[in-house]
Amino acid sequence: MSMPPLVIVIDDDHCMRNAAANLIASHGYRTEVYASAEQFIDQVWHSEASGLLIDMQLTGMSGIECARVLTSLGFSLPIILMTGGDDPMLRQQAIDLGCVAYLRKPLSPGLLMDALTDAVGKPRFD
């Protein structure tokens, strides 16, 4: 039996982080949560991540910076960025980095799940 895709949720807001992880898990994905980009990057070499959901405005390293660091380390994980605001320049940077989606908070469950399906596929139930 194959394991469902592992989606990493990185958000410094505890409530948002857990709500997103619970929604994703309710659709059959495995999840791990991190309060900062630095926490995830410190252990990325051991991660089984299939894709990432990252907040743009984190304490410390931003979501865009996290995506850049991961790319510079040779990781090509599908990334979905989420933000409470909308900055056209940041949206363009996300597109230029190849992010799968750039979603506004509060997250639409349907849009998030569509983006996850595009990013990592649907969980298989064998």
- Domains in the chain, start-ordered, CATH in brackets? 12-43+60-120 (3.40.50.2300)
Task: Tell me: pLDDT of 87 over 80.
Answer: yes
pLDDT tens track for 33-63:
999 999 999 999 999 999 999 999 999 999 9
What's the confidence (pLDDT) of residue 85? 87
Q: Supply the pTM of this predicted model.
A: 0.95
* Residue-averaged pLDDT of the chain: 94
Name the DSSP letter for residue 91: H
Residues 6+ positions from 29 with CB-CB distance below 8 Å: 4, 5, 6, 7, 116, 120, 123
